Chain A
Amino acid sequence: MNIATPILTPIKLTAAETALVDAFTRQVGELPGDGMVLVARDNALDGIKTEGLPTRRVESWHYTDLRALLRAIPADTNAPFIEQRPGLVSNAFVLPVLNGKPDVKTSIDGVTIGSFRDRLMSDDHAHIEPRGSDDAIGRINTSFVRDGLVIDIADGTTLERPLELQLSQSAGQSHMRFAVSFGAQTKGTVIERHSSLSDDASLVSSVSDVVVGDGADILWIIFQAQGPVDTHLAQMNFKLGANAKLTLYVINTGGKLVRQEVHGVTVGEGSDFQMRGINLLGGDTHTDVTFTLGHDVPNTTSTEIIRNVIFDRARGVFQGQIRVAPDAQKTDARMACNTLLMSDDADFSAKPELEIFADDVQCGHGATVIDINATHLYYLMARGIPENKARGLLINAFVAEIVEELDDEQLVEALEDVISAWLDKHA
């Protein structure tokens, strides 16, 4: 062969990669867990050390060059003390995880709550392995995960009040993991709320593993409003049982560098997955929502609707992949991603993928990138509404539509307030 084969040279680590490797060396003695947990941690860090963080060349990171974007890592020192805040909705049952440390309360009927730290200490085989070699969030989380929550909701339980996982950060780093299991026929709402309570930079990695049991009907809201200098790396992995229904809202209004991944599979027939996304992006930020869904069994349905509004120099990314397995006949999957690009310095990239191996299916996706409709604007302005206000109204309508699908009035109101407040500040 005449073709020159590339010589494998060890990569030169970036400042952020070096900081991660050094932090691991410092922390490894006190990280919870031994046995397979420690092996998983070593392997994950070794991945970062030998391959580095992913670049554009890694297909699943095509639009988020983590290696270039993650420039520095905040120190892993103790963050200033913070207090629990009121819930997003007043009747929520709040489970605070402040600077990565959970306050474990167990006073809800049918719900068992424990700390993930205990699981790491007691179970050699706690599942913390990354999803694969391109799972940078997994690699970081697996290496450093210290705590989080283990929540089990017993079969047949109906949660009367929303459960709020209040994940607040004041500075430094938190690496958390949540194992949540909804038993058969359970019903309820979970609010996963990420916020920052200081101006200092923080790095958060948060991984949730959610199992939705047969016949359960769950609403899960991820509301991320971290600070303008924060890095937020989050991943949700879920499994849907037979006739189970999961409605997932992903709302991003903060963070400097954000990657929210959602990876799901249907494991029982008759299951339904609904996803709604709202990304309000401004400033000089980068927000990536990456979603994969495997329809692995017959007769399952899914719909995803993602709305993005992008101002200033912000960059938005949506990657959505729907896979239909060879035997998953009668799958019905629909995905839509609509974007309002409000500035010429902003940009948006989308990659909505379909990967279909079964023939008796209905699958579709749509993606649009547009400016505000001139006719709509004219209509409002002709009625004496000033241009900036008219624009605000139209943008609001574009995203509020998604929120209004919710049944819970309190929740709708709370989220509408979040949207209005954000738009007042940025539009």
Chain B
Amino acid sequence: MPAVQETIDQVRQIDVDQYKYGFETIIEMDKAPKGLSEEIIRFISAKKNEPEWMLEWRLDAYQRWLTMEEPTWARVDYPKIDFNDLYYYAAPKNQTGPMSIDDVDPELLRTYEKLGIPLREQEMLAGVQKSKIAVDAVFDSVSVVTTFKEELKKAGVIFMSISEAIREYPELIKQYLGTVVPTTDNFYATMNAAVFTDGSFVYVPKGVRCPMELSTYFRINEKGTGQFERTLIIAEEGAYVSYLEGCTAPQRDENQLHAAVVELIALDDAEIKYSTVQNWYPGDKDGKGGIYNFVTKRGDCRGKNSKISWTQVETGSAITWKYPSCILRGDNSRGEFYSIAVSNGYQQIDSGTKMIHLGKNTSSRIVAKGIAAGFSQNTYRGQVSAHRRATNTRNFTQCDSLLIGDKCGAHTVPYIEAKNSTAQFEHEATTSKISEDQLFYCLQRGIPEEAAIALIVNGFVKEVIQELPMEFAVEAQKLIGISLEGSVG
């Protein structure tokens, strides 16, 4: 089919060099010495002015981590990481935590402006944007600024960097931190527990519907650093919150590590909607550089009738290893996972979800769309399981892959485990190229090939895009355009 041949050529020519956020911010940084040791953990803890119990928690995780091995089961291939050749703490000089916007280094503000992230509340209000978005901006190891904190506080919502929360709300942190992703969970989660530097904390009290979208914007900037963020979101009984996460990094020849842990807790009748647009630097066209993104994200539907929904658009990172999951503990709880994973160049994605049905009448829905181009490998790996006592569980899974070019690969590895006779699981997966019939139909109506392919690809991912909050959907659509530029208009 000529259109696809053209697409292949164009994708090959343009490839991942389209990355727009690859600039570097030149700013004086305050760094811990390279390497990972007890001293470094004590250093981070002291920098964050943490209480003693937090330090102990970290050190305990570190001791466990020393006994663990890197997981190798994912379908990704990369040279062994030397964990002692990394900086585990890097923050802009004089910035040990979020401060008033007027005190923030103007260079940093310019960075966020360039990235299109509004940090000034009045600007956001003055702009065309109608709905408000509160932003927590994390720059390497430290949260730079958190907007709309006061306004949110009036509604009872706590939104701040996790470092501040550890100092200001130790009881909440002690009660919830590590209860969804225990420190022993896996190699990278344990490592994160030992060295996490910043991230966001959200607490929505009983019956409160969070008045605006919350978001965190992660930026890796410093050379040779790893970013280890930790996010904790708690929605009390009947609460609702929608949270967005975005991330970018400069273009570098070396690989950088990003190992995050995100924990969501939804109590009775609560709902958490978590959306990610992941756009870390993917490496250059020869597969050099890029972020290693090893992330553990898990939501716990702890209360009955609770709901957790993950939506992700994955276009960046050299390697993605990420499985946002739901533990459906409460009766009648619901988990959702919507994902678009676009890989190009030499990117490798191994991503999917886990839906663990423990409560009665729990239901889950998985819609995963993978688009592979260039020399990339794109794997969906998911698990759906029903516990013996979980009666009347329901799952629907659909994972579709689209291949553009013959040098890439698309893989599907679902694990389906039913231990209860009332479970109803349906799984379907397809892999195909753009249908000639669909393309012919469009061409016949005078739509040029490029535009027709764009239409078809957009139709392919529409189901997922629809689940994103409005402001994000537009950005996501643009991102998909960039990743496949040349093949989609």
How many angstroms from the CA of A3 to the CA of B203 in the assembled complex?
A: 36
When the two chains form their complex, are residues B422 and A356 in contact, meaning their CB atoms are under 8 A apart?
no
Tell me, yes or no, whether A346 is within 8 Å of chain B by CB. yes
When the two chains form their complex, are residues A4 and B411 in contact, meaning their CB atoms are under 8 A apart?
no
When the two chains form their complex, are residues B425 and A369 in contact, meaning their CB atoms are under 8 A apart?
yes
When the two chains form their complex, are residues B417 and A349 in contact, meaning their CB atoms are under 8 A apart?
yes
Complex interface: chain A residues within 8 A of B426 (CB): 366-368
When the two chains form their complex, are residues B424 and A351 in contact, meaning their CB atoms are under 8 A apart?
no
Residues 350-385 of chain A, each 1 if its beta carbon lies under 8 Å from chain B, else 0: 111111111111111111111100000000000000
When the two chains form their complex, are residues B66 and A4 in contact, meaning their CB atoms are under 8 A apart?
yes
When the two chains form their complex, are residues A359 and B403 in contact, meaning their CB atoms are under 8 A apart?
yes
Tell me, yes or no, whether A224 is within 8 Å of chain B by CB. no
Residue A361 contacts which of B69, B82, B423, B432 (CB distance < 8 angstroms)?
A: B432
Instruction: Give the shortest distance, in Å, between A314 (CB) and chain B (any CB).
Output: 12
Instruction: Give the shortest distance, in Å, between B333 (CB) and chain A (any CB).
Output: 20
Tell me, yes or no, whether B415 is within 8 Å of chain A by CB. yes
Tell me, yes or no, whether B409 is within 8 Å of chain A by CB. yes
Beta-carbon contacts under 8 Å, A1-49 to B: 1-4, 6
Complex interface: chain A residues within 8 A of B224 (CB): none
Which of A159-167, A254-262, A299-307, A337-345 forms contacts with chain B?
A337-345
Instruction: Give the shortest distance, in Å, between B396 (CB) and chain A (any CB).
Output: 10
A-B pair count, CB < 8 Å, reads 140
Tell me, yes or no, whether A118 is within 8 Å of chain B by CB. no
Tell me, yes or no, whether B78 is within 8 Å of chain A by CB. no
Tell me, yes or no, whether A326 is within 8 Å of chain B by CB. yes
When the two chains form their complex, are residues B428 and A364 in contact, meaning their CB atoms are under 8 A apart?
yes
How many angstroms from the CA of A225 to the CA of B401 in the assembled complex?
A: 39
When the two chains form their complex, are residues B428 and A344 in contact, meaning their CB atoms are under 8 A apart?
no
Tell me, yes or no, whether B151 is within 8 Å of chain A by CB. no
How many angstroms from the CA of A59 to the CA of B409 in the assembled complex?
A: 20
Tell me, yes or no, whether A347 is within 8 Å of chain B by CB. yes
Tell me, yes or no, whether A348 is within 8 Å of chain B by CB. yes
Known contacts: A2-B37, A363-B431. The answer to whether A353 contacts B421 by CB under 8 A is no
When the two chains form their complex, are residues B84 and A2 in contact, meaning their CB atoms are under 8 A apart?
yes
Interface size on B, as a range, is: 35 or more
When the two chains form their complex, are residues B409 and A355 in contact, meaning their CB atoms are under 8 A apart?
yes
Per the CB 8 Å criterion, the residue count for chain A at the interface is 43
Complex interface: chain A residues within 8 A of B432 (CB): 361-363
Tell me, yes or no, whether B20 is within 8 Å of chain A by CB. no
When the two chains form their complex, are residues A366 and B418 in contact, meaning their CB atoms are under 8 A apart?
no
Complex interface: chain B residues within 8 A of A115 (CB): none
When the two chains form their complex, are residues B433 and A359 in contact, meaning their CB atoms are under 8 A apart?
yes
Tell me, yes or no, whether B407 is within 8 Å of chain A by CB. yes
When the two chains form their complex, are residues A353 and B431 in contact, meaning their CB atoms are under 8 A apart?
no
Tell me, yes or no, whether A329 is within 8 Å of chain B by CB. yes
Instruction: Give the shortest distance, in Å, between A85 (CB) and chain B (any CB).
Output: 36
Instruction: Give the shortest distance, in Å, between A372 (CB) and chain B (any CB).
Output: 9
Complex interface: chain A residues within 8 A of B406 (CB): 326-327, 329, 357-360
Residue A369 contacts which of B388, B416, B431 (CB distance < 8 angstroms)?
A: B416
When the two chains form their complex, are residues A356 and B431 in contact, meaning their CB atoms are under 8 A apart?
yes
Tell me, yes or no, whether B83 is within 8 Å of chain A by CB. yes
When the two chains form their complex, are residues B420 and A341 in contact, meaning their CB atoms are under 8 A apart?
yes
Tell me, yes or no, whether B277 is within 8 Å of chain A by CB. no
When the two chains form their complex, are residues B423 and A369 in contact, meaning their CB atoms are under 8 A apart?
yes
When the two chains form their complex, are residues B418 and A364 in contact, meaning their CB atoms are under 8 A apart?
no
Residues 42-72 of chain A, each 1 if its beta carbon lies under 8 Å from chain B, else 0: 0000000000000000010011000000000
Complex interface: chain A residues within 8 A of B424 (CB): 368-371
How many angstroms from the CA of A370 to the CA of B427 in the assembled complex?
A: 12
Tell me, yes or no, whether B119 is within 8 Å of chain A by CB. no
Complex interface: chain B residues within 8 A of A363 (CB): 430-432
When the two chains form their complex, are residues B419 and A347 in contact, meaning their CB atoms are under 8 A apart?
yes
When the two chains form their complex, are residues B418 and A349 in contact, meaning their CB atoms are under 8 A apart?
yes
Residue B427 contacts which of A352, A358, A361 (CB distance < 8 angstroms)?
A: A352
Residue A350 contacts which of B66, B401, B403, B416 (CB distance < 8 angstroms)?
A: B416
Instruction: Give the shortest distance, in Å, between A122 (CB) and chain B (any CB).
Output: 43
When the two chains form their complex, are residues A369 and B36 in contact, meaning their CB atoms are under 8 A apart?
no
How many angstroms from the CA of A345 to the CA of B66 in the assembled complex?
A: 39
Q: List 12 A-B contacts (CB under 8 A).
A: A2-B84, A4-B66, A344-B422, A347-B417, A349-B418, A356-B411, A357-B408, A357-B409, A361-B431, A361-B432, A367-B416, A370-B423
Residues of A at the B interface (CB closer than 8 Å) are: 1-4, 6, 59, 62-63, 326-327, 329, 339, 341-371
Given contacts A351-B414, A367-B416, 7 further A-B contacts (CB under 8 A): A3-B69, A341-B423, A344-B388, A348-B418, A349-B415, A362-B430, A367-B426
